[in-house]
Amino acid sequence: MLFQISEFMSYFVTYLPTFIYLGFDIALLILAIFIYKRNSYKYGIYLMISSLIAIISSILSLSLNLPYLSLELSNRGLNFSQIVIILTIVNLIFLILGVVSTVFLFLAIYKIYQTHKNNR
């Protein structure tokens, strides 16, 4: 019983940042949809794209069981060099998704500044 509680707490602590990040991205997506529908500003689209890419990244991380992926690959009998190559490719994919999401977020912030600069 104690082992089950500690295993649950281990998974909970491991995946808590991912769930918080996922919740933030869902809230940002809802905000972007409201901005686009209410005012039809172009930066709503950039915010939507940024949050969708971040949501895809979080869901992919959860589905791959990313913190325990190396352990799972070693349990399947792969040697160390193959595990390192697979983890490098997976990390590059997540890096690309993060950079693309950040670029769209910066574009949205720039468009917000450009749109509302004229009103001052």
Q: Per-residue pLDDT tens for 48-92?
A: 999 999 999 999 999 998 888 999 999 999 999 999 999 999 999
Residue pointed to by tokens 């895809």: 56
Asked whether 28 and 51 are in contact (CB, 8 A), the reply is: yes
Give CA 119 to chain center in angstroms: 34
pLDDT level of residue 120 (50, 70, 90 thresholds): low
φ, ψ of residue 78 to 5 degrees: the values are -80, 150
11 pLDDT higher than 90: no
